[in-house]
Amino acid sequence: MAVRPLLKRRDLIQSAFGALGTLGLSAALGSGNAAQAAALGHYAGQRTSGKAKRVISLFLQGGPSQVDLFDPKPLLVKFQGQRPGSVDLRTERQTGGLMPSPFQFAKHGRGGVDVSEMLPKLAGVIDEICVIRSIYSFNPTHTPSVNLYHTGTILPNRPSIGSWVSYGLGSENQNLPSFIALSSGGSATRSGFLPAAHQGTPVNHTEVDPEKMIPNLRNKELDPAAQRKQLDAIQALNKEFGASFGADDYLDGRIQSMEAAYRMQFEAMDVFDIRKESAATRALYGETPFGNGCLLARRLVEKGVRYVNVGSGDWDDHKDIETAYRKKLPAMDQAAAALIADLKQRGMLDDTIVIWGGEFGRTPVSESGTGRDHNPYGFTMWVAGGGFKGGLAYGATDDFGFKAVENRVSIHDFHATVLHALGIEHMQLTYRYAGRDFRLTDVFGNAVKDILA
Amino acid sequence: MWRGWLVTILICPSLLAQKLDATLFESKIRPVLAGKCYGCHSSKLKAPMGGLVLDTKAGLSAGGSGGKVIVAGQPDQSRLLTALRFTDPHLQMPPTGKLPDAVIDDFASWIASGAVDPRTAAPSSETSAALKGMSIEAGRQWWAFQPIREVAPPRIRDTAWSRNKIDPFVLAQLEAKRFTPSSPADKRTLARRAYIDLVGYKPTYQEVEVFAADASPDAWEKLIDRLLASPQYGERWARHWMDVARYGEDNPTSEATNPAYPFAWRYRDWIIEALNQDVPYDRFVKLQLAADQMPGSRREDLRALGYLGAALFHKDQRLSADVINGFLHDDWDERVDAVSRGLLAMTVACARCHDHKFDPIPTKDYYALAGVFASTMRAEQPLFDVDAATEARYLAVQRRLIDLRYSVGLLTGEASTVLDSETRVARWRAEIEQLKAEMLALQERYPKLVASLERYWTMPAPRPPAGAAPQPRRRPELTSTEPFLNAVFDAAQYVETADPHYTFINYKPGEARDLAVLRSGNVAAPGEIVPRQFLTVLSKGDSRFLKGSGRLELADKIFTDDRSLAARVIVNRVWDWHFGRPLAATPSDFGVQGDKPTHPELLDDLATRFVAHGWSLKWLHREIMTSAAYRQSSKPRPDLVKADPTNMLFWRMPPRRMDIESYRDTLLRSSGRLNDAMYGPSEDVEAPTNVRRTIYGRISRSRLSPLLKNYDFPDPLQSSGGRDLTTTSLQQLFVLNSAFIRESATAASQAVASLTADRSRVEELYRRLLSRDPSPKELDMALSFLAGATLEQLAQVLLSTNEVILWP
Residue ranges, chain A, pLDDT below 50: 1-39
Is B379 inside a domain boundary? yes
Residue A271, SS3 per DSSP: helix
Question: Cβ of A241 and B718 within 8 Å?
Answer: no
Question: B-chain residues within 8 Å CB-CB of A225?
Answer: none
pLDDT at residue B461 in the model:
64
The contacts of residue A267 (CB under 8 Å, 6+ apart) are: A175, A176, A303
Q: Give the C-alpha separation, B304 to B485, whole Å.
A: 9
Between CA B299 and CA B307, with CA B305 as vertex, the angle to 5 degrees is 155
How far from A300 is each of A18, A293, A294, A297, A453, CA to CA, in Å? 14, 10, 10, 5, 26
- Shortest Cα distance, chain B CAs vs residue A340, angstroms: 31
Q: Is B137 exposed, middle or buried (0-12, 13-18, 19+ CB in 10 A)?
A: exposed
Chain B residue nearest residue A245, CA to CA: B635
Question: Cβ of B730 and A15 within 8 Å?
Answer: yes
- Shortest Cα distance, chain B CAs vs residue A139, angstroms: 7
How many Cβ atoms sit within 10 Å of the Cβ of residue B462?
10
- Shortest Cα distance, chain B CAs vs residue A158, angstroms: 9
Question: A-chain residues within 8 Å CB-CB of B320?
Answer: 90
**Is residue A155 within 8 angstroms of chain B, CB to CB?**
yes
Q: Give the C-alpha separation, A318 to A332, whole Å.
A: 19
Q: Give the C-alpha separation, B190 to B197, whole Å.
A: 10
Alpha carbon distance, N-terminus to C-terminus of chain B: 59
pLDDT at residue B10 in the model:
35
pLDDT at residue A28 in the model:
33
Question: Cβ of B580 and A2 within 8 Å?
Answer: yes
Is the distance from CB of B166 to CB of B602 less than 8 angstroms? yes
pLDDT at residue A15 in the model:
34
**Is residue B541 within 8 angstroms of chain A, CB to CB?**
no
**Is residue B256 within 8 angstroms of chain A, CB to CB?**
no
Is B685 inside a domain boundary? no
Is B173 inside a domain boundary? no
Helices (H), B140-218: 166-176, 187-199, 205-213
How many Cβ atoms sit within 10 Å of the Cβ of residue B441?
9
Give me the count of residues in chain B: 808
Q: What is the amino acid identity at position B77?
A: Q
Is B659 inside a domain boundary? no
**Is residue B796 within 8 angstroms of chain A, CB to CB?**
yes
Beta bridge partners of A179: A307
Is the distance from CB of B467 to CB of B250 less than 8 angstroms? no
The contacts of residue A336 (CB under 8 Å, 6+ apart) are: A58, A121, A122, A294, A354, A356
Give me the count of residues in chain A: 453
User: What burial letters (b/e) apply to B648-682, b meaning 16+ CB within 10 Å?
Assistant: ebbbbbbbbbbbbbbbbbbbbbbbebbeeebeebb
**Is residue B726 within 8 angstroms of chain A, CB to CB?**
yes
How many Cβ atoms sit within 10 Å of the Cβ of residue B102?
8
Nearest to B573 by CA among B163, B336, B281, B291: B281
**A144, A233, A257 ranked by CB distance to B797: nearest:** A233
Q: Are strands A201-203 and A179-182 parallel, antiparallel or unpaired?
A: parallel
Full domain range(s) for residue B63: 20-118
- Shortest Cα distance, chain A CAs vs residue B737, angstroms: 5
pLDDT at residue B786 in the model:
95
Residue ranges, chain B, pLDDT below 50: 1-18, 123-130, 415-416
Question: Cβ of B797 and A185 within 8 Å?
Answer: no
Q: Which of residues 132-151 of A touch B (CB under 8 A)?
A: 139-141, 143-144
Number of A–B residue contacts, CB under 8 Å: 280
Question: Cβ of B736 and A436 within 8 Å?
Answer: no
Domain end: B543, B558, B573, which one? B558
**A4, A39, A262 ranked by CB distance to B724: nearest:** A4
How many Cβ atoms sit within 10 Å of the Cβ of residue B244?
22
Mutation site, B96, B705, B729, interface A, largest A CB count within 10 A: B729
DSSP-derived letter for residue A98 is: B
Is B186 inside a domain boundary? no
Domain end: B68, B99, B118, which one? B118
DSSP-derived letter for residue B36 is: I
Question: Cβ of A4 and B721 within 8 Å?
Answer: yes
How many structural domains are present in chain B?
3
Beta bridge partners of A366: A372
B580 phi and psi, to 5 degrees?
75, 5
Is B381 inside a domain boundary? yes
Is B375 inside a domain boundary? yes
What's the per-residue H, E or C state across B671-720? Answer: CCCCECCCCCCCECCCCCCCCECHHHECCCCCCCCHHHHHCCCCCCCCCC
**Is residue B721 within 8 angstroms of chain A, CB to CB?**
yes
B488 phi and psi, to 5 degrees?
-135, 160
**B346, B654, B777 ranked by CB distance to A240: nearest:** B777
pLDDT at residue A13 in the model:
35
**Is residue A247 within 8 angstroms of chain B, CB to CB?**
yes
Q: How many helices (H) and strands (E) does chain B have?
A: 34, 7
Longest Cα–Cα distance in chain B: 103
Q: Give the C-alpha separation, B648 to A9, whole Å.
A: 13
Mutation site, A3, A251, A426, interface B, largest B CB count within 10 A: A3
- Shortest Cα distance, chain A CAs vs residue B437, angstroms: 32
Residue B64, SS3 per DSSP: strand
Q: What domains can be seen in chain A, in order of their start residue?
A: 41-214+272-451 (3.40.720.10)
**Is residue A434 within 8 angstroms of chain B, CB to CB?**
yes
- Shortest Cα distance, chain B CAs vs residue A116, angstroms: 29
Domain end: B84, B118, B152, which one? B118
Question: Cβ of A11 and B726 within 8 Å?
Answer: yes
Nearest to A199 by CA among A423, A353, A15, A21: A15
pLDDT at residue A38 in the model:
35
Is the distance from CB of A428 to CB of A43 less than 8 angstroms? yes
Nearest to A449 by CA among A403, A392, A380: A392
- Shortest Cα distance, chain B CAs vs residue A280, angstroms: 33
Q: Give the C-alpha separation, B316 to B399, whole Å.
A: 14
pLDDT at residue B469 in the model:
57
Task: Convert the pLDDT of each residue in A129-143 to its tens digit.
Answer: 999 999 999 888 888
Chain B residue nearest residue A247, CA to CA: B636
Question: Cβ of A1 and B577 within 8 Å?
Answer: yes
Question: A-chain residues within 8 Å CB-CB of B328?
Answer: none
Question: B-chain residues within 8 Å CB-CB of A1?
Answer: 239-240, 243, 577, 659, 661, 722-723, 725
Chain B residue nearest residue A211, CA to CA: B737
Is B624 inside a domain boundary? no
Question: Cβ of A230 and B97 within 8 Å?
Answer: no
pLDDT at residue B147 in the model:
96
Is the distance from CB of A167 to CB of A160 less than 8 angstroms? no
Alpha carbon distance, N-terminus to C-terminus of chain A: 47
Angle between helix axes B13-24 and B101-112 (nearest 10 degrees) is 150
